[in-house]
Structure formats: C-alpha cells, structure tokens
Amino acid sequence: MATTFVSDRNLNFLLHEVFDLASLAEHPLYREHGRRSFDMIIDATLKLAKEICLPTLREMDEQPPVLTEGRVEVHAAVRRFMRECGDGGWIAAGFPHALDGEQLPQMLTCTCRYIFAAANYSLSVYPFLTAGAARLIANFGGAMLRKTYLPPMLSGRWQGTMALTEPQAGSSLADIVTEAVPMDAAATKAGSPYRIRGKKIFISAGDHDGVDNVVHLLLAKIAGAPAGVKGISLFVVPKLRPQSDGTLIPNDVAVSQIYHKLGYRGCPITELEFGQRDDCHGTLVGAPHRGLFYMFQMMNEARIEVGAGAAAIAQAAYGAALNYARLRPQGRALGAKDPDQPPLPIIQHADVKRMLLFQKAFVEGSLALILQCARYMDLEAISTGVEMEKYALLLDLLTPVAKTYPSEMGILSTSQAIQCFGGYGYCEDFPVAQYYRDVRIHPIHEGTTGIQGLDLLGRKLVRHNGRALGYLLAEIQATIASARNTAGLTAHADALATSLDQLDAVLAHLTVVAQSDGPDAYLADATVFLEFFGIITIAWQWLLQAVPAAAAEGTARTASDRRFYAGKRHACDFFFKYELPKATALATTLLHPARPTLETHARHF
Amino acid sequence: MNIIVLVKQVPDTESLLEVDTANATVNTQNVKWIINPYDEYAIEEALQIKEAKGAGSVTVVAVGPDRSEQALRTALAMGADTAVLVNDAAAEGSDALGIAKVLAGVIKEMPYDLVIAGVRAVDDDGYQVPAAVAEYLELPLVTAVIKQELGEGKITCHQLVEGGSLVVEAPLPMLFTAQKGLNEPRYASLPNIMKAKKKPLEKKRLADIGLDAALVGTGSAKVAISALALPPERKGGKMVTGDTPEALAAELVRLLKEEAEVL
C-alpha cells in the first residue's frame, strides 16, 4: 500500500514554496543547514516513521500500558523508538550545538514531529515530551542539573514529563498544593534540595519501562510561598535519584494508578504520589516562585505541538479515507439509470468529495498555521529589538489558535474520515476509528479549549496595548494584497477583508461590553470568539498557500505537479465557500445582546 | 580493511509506477528514489565490519545520473566514509553487463579487501550486476549471504539456498552479495546527515576510468526490453451452477478445458 499517513508533497510545498525554509540557512544561526540536508532529514524521518512508528499503531492501541507492582509496562516499541530518537539525534534536534544538538530550525523539528505523530501519535509523544522537559532544564536549570539530566534525557535513556495537574486544582494551577520544603532551611537558591510531597494526576508517560529513569518537571509551592500563581516554583524530581557516584536509588515517587482512556492508548497517563514516605527529593529550577513563568516557556511550544498532533492524526485519517474512496465502488452517477453499469468508485460522488475536501482543507490549513508559528519562532530566534518583539507577539497571539483550531476541528475531520468508510469506518477493522478516538484528547490536554479562549481574549489580545493584533492584521493585509494581484483570488481576498471588518466590529463591541459590564460579560463567549478568530486565521493561511500555488499551476512541468496545485486551488475555494462563511454566523452570535450563559443559573438546568 | 559497497538508486516500492509504453520503460517523473533495500544490508554489513576492526574505510560506489548522488549521500549519512558516482550520459541505457563493466572499471583503480553488494535490485530484479563485477575483477563470488565471519585473509559465508544454507569459504579479496536477514540496517542519524554533507563524493566520467564508451550504453547492450505492460486486471469470479456435486464437477471440468484452457 502506498504511504498515506502523510503527504510529503504537501510538506515540501509548505516548507519551501510557502514558507521558504531554505532562506533561514542564510542566517549564521542556521548556516550549517541547507536544502539538501533539510530534504535528507525529512526523508530519514519518513523512513523511521514508516518502519518503526506506523507498524505498531494498532498494536499499541490494542495492548495499552499495564500497571504491575507499581511499574508501568509499555509496548516494546517505546524503548526502541526512544533509543532511535536519542541515538539518532531527534530529541536534541532543536537544541544548540553547545548541548550536542543539531540547532535545526523549528520549522523542521516541527515537521519531523508532525510526521512521527501522523504515523503513531502515542509513540511520538515519548521523545518529544522528553525534549520539552530537557529544554526547561537547559534554559533555566543550573550547571549541575544540566550535567546530570541532559545527557541521559537527550539520548533517550530517561523520560521527561511535565507534572502540573492536581486532583483538586485541574486547570486552575493557582490552587495546587504539592509542597516543597527546603532540606536545609537556609538554602533557597537554585539547585538546593527540597523535600517534595503531593499528588499529581494525568501525567503523560509518568512512568514506564521503555526507559531507565523518569524525570518530572514538577510544579510545587515552597512552604510559606505567596498564594496563587505567584507562589509556584519549578522542580526537577526524578523517579530514581542519581547519587554522586552515578548510581540511582528510588526517590519515593509512586504510581498510584494509570487511566483507562478513550484513545491515545499507547501512552500511559499516570497518577503519581510524591513523598509518601517523606523521602522524595527535588531540585529547584531557577529562582523560587518563578515556576509558572518557566513552565509556560515549555507550555507554549507544547500547545503548538498539540495542535500539530491533532492535525497529524487527522492527516492520517484523511489519507486512509482518500485511499478507500478511490478503491471502493458503490452506486452510480445520480442521473444514470442503467443498473447493469458497473458502480463508480465513491470518490466520484459529489458528497464524498465534499467530505474529502473538508478534511483536506482542514488538515492542510492547520498544518500551514502550525508551520507559520514555527516560522515565527525561527524568525524570533534570528532577530533583535522591535523585529524580535514582533515575532514573539505574533507567536504568542497565534498559540491558542494553533492549539485549538486543529484540536477541535480534528474531531470533525476524523469523523468525516469515518463517514467516508460508512459502516466499516465505525468498526475497528480500519484505522479511522482509532484516529477518531486518538484525536479527542487534544482539545483537553495542555490547556483546554475554554482556557485557550480566555488566554486569547483575556490576555493575548489586550496585553502590550494590543500590539500583537496590529502585527497580525498587517500580516493578513499583506497576504490579501498579494492575493488581489493574483488571477482567480480577488474574490477570496475581498471575502477575507470583509471578515477582518467583522473582527473589528466584534472587538469594538466586546471592548464596550468589557467597559460597561466587566470581565465576566467580556469573556463569557471567549470560546466562541476563539472559534471565530480561528476560522479567519485559517482562511488567511489558505490564501497564503493559494498565491504561490496559482503561480505554480500555470508553469508546472509535470502533470502530477499541475494536479497538486489544482488541488490546492480547489481546497482553497472549498474553504472560502464552506468554512469562512461560518465566521459570519459566529460574529452574529458574538454581537448578540442576549447572555444566556451568564443569566442561566445552576438551578435552571 | 577497505570495503567497497555497490549501491543502486531505485524507485521506492511504494511509488505508484506508470508504464511508458512508447519507450518500453517506467515513467520516473514522479517517482520517489531510495537506496535499493538490499544495498542497505550491504552498507550495514560493511559498517559493522569496519566498526569491529576499528579501522579501515567504507566506500560506496554507484553508476547513474545526478539524482543518484542522493542515494550516495544517504549511504554517507548511514556512516560510509567516501562515495564515488560515475555519471556519464554514454553509460545510460547500459544493460547489467555494461553497468558491471563501469563498476569494475572504477573499483580496479581503488585499494580494497572486500566488495559487498545487494543480492538483487528491486527495480529490474536481474541479480546479475554483482556477479558480473566479480567476473570482470576476477574475484571469488558468494551470493545471498545471511552471515559472514572474517578470518585472516579469508572469509566464511553462510549462503542462503533453497531449504537451508551453505557454508562457503573464500580468500580475500572477494565479493559477496547481501541477502535479507544478514543484519538490520541502521537509520541515518541527524549528526551523520550533517556530517554527510562534508564527506567526499567524487564524480567520474568514463574517460576518468579509462573505459571506452563504445563498450557500454544502449549500443553495446545485449539485452533490450521490447515491451513493458502492467499485468492484466483481475477479472470477476464465475459461479459454477449445477444441481448435484457430480454436475458441478462436470461443469467445472468443462470450464477449465474450454474457457480457461488449462486442462
């Protein structure tokens, strides 16, 4: 069977024809790289994904992790993949040369993760969680922490996790109660040992036998710390504590349960008890009470990865549906009367094409936004001053969108993949049922959709006097301008401009609401606003793709390239006809004076 | 120990191939190119031998157009030390013997103790090039090797044959071909991909190896492909009808004789 879990043609198009990845290599930070090494890296990633990740996709779903005598057993593929990603340099790919990394641009590391996630999302999580945790230690940890933890983590021997959530606190981190007590009362500086006591829930890869140790990047409150988020500190808490002679001893971290989940079953989600025997040691990372600030450095990246993961799963589901639709004969053209005529492959029916176009428009639009964010990370890394601030703010503003649009729409997209299979899709014989289950976690983990809405409307749009939005509007206006000069795209350019007017009207209205009725009223429909904002953002990403595709379609040398660019044109048309108009309906909702969600009291249900 | 590995770039077996009937060839315009998978076993074995010896070099050699450089770079990213590509329009259209002449021409200029090749290439599936190279270089040949042990000036190979394996000994230098099962090829790592860019890749023409262009290429090929077609599409099944087992059997025999014409 042809590889269908990812489209390398589309990856090439986005990386090179839309986002001009190779231009980054002109900058000293990336001067070691170039088109040839980029292509080799993508090829090597595809090979690994195809040969190690994809074959265990189903098995890892059918044989989820088991908790036996306090230890979590996972599929053998986990150890193998962690070693390949460690030895092969994939975990350290984005790390600087000084830490033995390859200093790859984020656009490329993001693409690699996308490829692994499309092949087997659960498996892809282990190394990249480790990379995220290692990055926190690299950025904020002291020399001792870096020396002790980075080599085994970057080589895939030790797992990294993020331990934030607690049973009583959930999304509300201000309410965490895990406690850290200095072992030496006088020492509160970075690197000093603390005794940790508390409970964490929903910790991905919180324990497993695919590695030799697990390192938790854990949020806790130092005894006597200020209340709320300003009293949260970040600690490194290993499952096994490294001694000065290099040996490892148990660090009083226990797995109290693993969760039985709807999907994403290849990765154990654990409940962890720290310090039940009062012998759990943790090392402070950076300064006390700065934990949340540090954690959010990792969290923003993790949120974009979640969006990428959702798009990747939907990409694989779309690939499976497309393959099936080409092969499955059923029914005849609506006007055909002769029952003796052979049935048509279902891909020829308009309604099936609608379902496939929906998936294509979603997947490729989302992936473009993810790579757009990665590009802003890269540009931020190579610029200074006002330019650097611009890219940082753009990234900040788009993060909740890049996390949420793919996650929420991924559910609908994988659902449409099932629909293409009909009854067979609802059965577990084909992978689409698994994709549908696997994708459902994404609107929940790393900040729920509700949290993302509050983040966008309550923080990202208003901070820095709204400069972030100004930068984004300028980017979108530039795309509209280039689309106006492109034959066939003027109507789309006008439609997107109209959407920006709607955005302006909605924000003006919300500003009045905030002033007159306060934050509850302002934020009541934050999730709806995020959906509205997301659709407009993806429309921009489609226009951004349509401009180079239109130019290339006329000059393409091969028939397959012409087909590819025509496909881009049709998917863009689809988005502007079927998806963008939904923003108008959402604008109507957002401008509507009624407030049922505020006025309905709990007793009214 | 200096080891030479023969590498061929072939279409990815997952590529959808279109037949170019007019030219009796495959339309390669949209093909994704990879290293012949059997050559990966050969490269891996060479790397393992070099690593075990702690010294020596692995050189990968290919004949082909510009795009073949990609396959050689990938071999360098796996860990090979140097690469040689013979890229000459005059060699295009060569049959297996023509390609083998070119390869033998390059190799005889180089110092080597061992030559390893894939047992076959998954595109033409000819099995001929390595054997012909061994012949031109007057080297002992062992095909389809699934295990080898290097000794002083000799090598013991386990050769896969139908129903079992033969243990064969040959003096060095020699050429053996790698069969599936010999090892598990490593993946190219990111650090090695970055290093591969800087490793030497030498490009040669026929003149550089002193080979007369008239001896290779389409003109001298002894084998020509006259036509190329996809296998016929499978036709629908046929239900045999009849009231009794005897009648069904009789009808089946009749169909096999008259329609399928196999009896």
3 state DSSP class of B60: strand
Q: How far apart are CA A603 and CA B227, in angstroms?
A: 80
Is residue B226 in some structural domain?
no
List B residues 113-172 in contact with A (Cβ-Cβ < 8 A). Answer: none
B127 and B177 co-located in one domain: yes
φ, ψ for residue B9, nearest 5 deg: -90, 130
B237 and B127 co-located in one domain: no
Provide the shortest C-alpha distance from residue A106 to chain B (in Å): 15
Contact between chains at A93 and B190 (C-beta distance less than 8 A): yes
Of B73, B187, B194, the CB nearest to A47: B187
User: In chain A, whose CA is at the least distance from the CA of B198?
Assistant: A32
B173 and B254 co-located in one domain: no
- DSSP per residue, A544-605: HHHHHHHHHHHH-SSHHHHHHHHHHHHHHHHIIIIITHHHHHHHHHHH----HHHH--GGG-
**Touching check for B190 and chain A: CB below 8 Å?**
yes
Residues B92 and B221 sit within 8 Å (Cβ to Cβ): no
Of A2, A87, A104, the CB nearest to B14: A2
Of B15, B188, B190, the CB nearest to A102: B190
Model pTM? 0.92
B199 and B246 co-located in one domain: no
Which two structure tokens, joined as six digits, stand for A418?
């099932």
How far CA A511 is from CA of A458, A518, A521, A591, B15, in Å, comes to 11, 10, 10, 11, 55
3 state DSSP class of A234: strand
Q: Which one-letter amino acid corresponds to residue B180? A: K
User: In chain A, whose CA is at the least distance from the CA of B29?
Assistant: A558
Contact between chains at B194 and A87 (C-beta distance less than 8 A): no
Contacts of A90 (CB under 8 A, 6+ apart): A45, A48, A84, A112, A127, B190
> Is the bond into A268 cis (omega within 30 degrees of 0)?
no
B257 and B139 co-located in one domain: no
Of A43, A51, A102, the CB nearest to B191: A102
Which two structure tokens, joined as six digits, stand for A321?
């549906």
**Touching check for A520 and chain B: CB below 8 Å?**
no
Could you read off the pLDDT of A182-215 as tens digits, one per residue?
987 665 555 678 999 999 999 999 999 999 999 9
Please tell me the CATH code under which domain A8-64+73-154 is placed.
1.10.540.10
**Touching check for A40 and chain B: CB below 8 Å?**
yes
Q: What is the mean pLDDT of chain A?
A: 95
Instruction: Provide the residue-wise pLDDT of chain B in tens; the chain has 263 residues.
Output: 999 999 999 999 887 788 888 888 888 877 889 999 999 999 999 999 999 999 999 999 999 999 999 999 999 999 999 999 999 999 998 999 999 999 999 999 999 999 999 999 999 899 999 999 999 999 999 999 999 999 999 999 999 999 999 999 999 999 999 999 999 999 999 999 999 989 999 999 999 999 999 999 988 999 888 888 888 887 777 888 889 999 999 999 999 999 888 88
B198 and B252 co-located in one domain: no
Give chain A's radius of gyration (CA, Å): 25
Provide the shortest C-alpha distance from residue B135 to chain A (in Å): 35
Is residue B213 in some structural domain?
yes
**Touching check for A55 and chain B: CB below 8 Å?**
no
User: In chain B, whose CA is at the least distance from the CA of A100?
Assistant: B191
Q: How far apart are CA A88 and CA A587, in angstroms?
A: 48
Provide the shortest C-alpha distance from residue A7 to chain B (in Å): 12
Of the candidates B111, B184, B177, B103, the residue with the CA atom closest to the CA atom of residue B144: B177
B46 and B105 co-located in one domain: yes
Q: How far apart are CA A464 and CA A461, in angstroms?
A: 8
Of B14, B73, B190, the CB nearest to A89: B190
Provide the shortest C-alpha distance from residue B193 to chain A (in Å): 7
In this structure, what is the dihedral angle of CA atoms B226, B230, B232, B236, given to the nearest 10 degrees? 180
Is residue B73 in some structural domain?
yes
Which two structure tokens, joined as six digits, stand for B175?
């050429």
Contact between chains at B191 and A89 (C-beta distance less than 8 A): yes
Contact between chains at A8 and B73 (C-beta distance less than 8 A): no
Is residue B14 in some structural domain?
yes
Q: What does the DSSP 8-state code read for residue B73?
A: H
B105 and B164 co-located in one domain: yes
- The residues of A annotated as belonging to the active site are 446
Contact between chains at B30 and A558 (C-beta distance less than 8 A): yes
Q: Which one-letter amino acid corresponds to residue A544? A: L
**Touching check for A350 and chain B: CB below 8 Å?**
no
List B residues 56-95 in contact with A (Cβ-Cβ < 8 A). Answer: 70, 73-74, 77
Contact between chains at B29 and A558 (C-beta distance less than 8 A): yes
β-pair partners for B158: B147, B167
Element (H, E) at B96: helix B96-107
B146 and B126 co-located in one domain: yes
**Touching check for A469 and chain B: CB below 8 Å?**
no
Alpha carbons within 13 angstroms on the beta-carbon side of residue A423 total 0
Long-range contact pairs involving A150-155 (C-beta distance under 8 Å, separation at least 24) = A150/A99, A152/A212, A152/A213, A153/A91, A153/A215, A154/A86, A154/A91, A154/A92, A154/A95, A154/A99, A154/A100, A154/A101, A154/A130, A155/A86, A155/A87, A155/A91
**Touching check for A35 and chain B: CB below 8 Å?**
no
- A159-290 adopts what CATH topology? Butyryl-CoA Dehydrogenase, subunit A; domain 2 (2.40.110)
Query: Which residue range is the domain that position B98 belongs to?
Result: 2-220
CATH code, domain with B133: 3.40.50.620
Q: How far apart are CA A442 and CA A567, in angstroms?
A: 28
Which residues of A fall within a CB distance of 8 Å from B188? 40, 44, 47, 88
Of B14, B29, B193, the CB nearest to A44: B193
Long-range contact pairs involving A166-169 (C-beta distance under 8 Å, separation at least 24) = A166/A198, A166/A199, A166/A200, A166/A201, A167/A199, A167/A201
Q: What does the DSSP 8-state code read for residue A329?
A: B
Which two structure tokens, joined as six digits, stand for A379?
């540009």
Which residues of A fall within a CB distance of 8 Å from B191? 89, 102
Contact between chains at A8 and B32 (C-beta distance less than 8 A): yes
Residue A551 gets the label, from left (phi > 0), alpha (psi -120 to 50) or beta, of alpha
Helices (H), A346-466: 350-382, 385-421, 423-426, 432-439, 449-454
In this structure, what is the dihedral angle of CA atoms A135, A137, A143, A149, given to the nearest 10 degrees? -100
pLDDT of residue A300: 82
Element (H, E) at A306: helix A291-327
Could you read off the pLDDT of B137-173 as tens digits, one per residue?
999 999 999 999 999 999 999 999 999 999 999 999 9
User: In chain B, whose CA is at the least distance from the CA of A563?
Assistant: B30
List B residues 202-231 in contact with A (Cβ-Cβ < 8 A). Answer: none
Domains of chain B: total: 2
Which residue in A40, A48, A82, A104 has the most chain B C-beta atoms within 10 A of its own C-beta, making it the best mutation to test that interface? A40
Q: Which residues in chain A land under pLDDT 70?
A: 1-3, 185-191
**Touching check for A340 and chain B: CB below 8 Å?**
no
B127 and B185 co-located in one domain: yes
Contacts of A222 (CB under 8 A, 6+ apart): A179, A180, A181, A182, A188, A194, A231, A233, A284, A288, A289
User: In chain B, whose CA is at the least distance from the CA of A51?
Assistant: B187
Of B14, B16, B190, the CB nearest to A41: B190
B131 and B238 co-located in one domain: no
Provide the shortest C-alpha distance from residue B191 to chain A (in Å): 7
Which two structure tokens, joined as six digits, stand for A10?
């589309």
Provide the shortest C-alpha distance from residue A102 to chain B (in Å): 7
**Touching check for A558 and chain B: CB below 8 Å?**
yes
pLDDT of residue B232: 83
Contact between chains at A104 and B193 (C-beta distance less than 8 A): no
**Touching check for A47 and chain B: CB below 8 Å?**
yes
Which residues of A fall within a CB distance of 8 Å from B15? 2
Alpha carbons within 13 angstroms on the beta-carbon side of residue B202 total 13
pLDDT of residue A136: 95
Of the candidates A539, A548, A567, A460, the residue with the CA atom closest to the CA atom of residue A507: A460
Contact between chains at A558 and B189 (C-beta distance less than 8 A): no
**Touching check for A3 and chain B: CB below 8 Å?**
yes
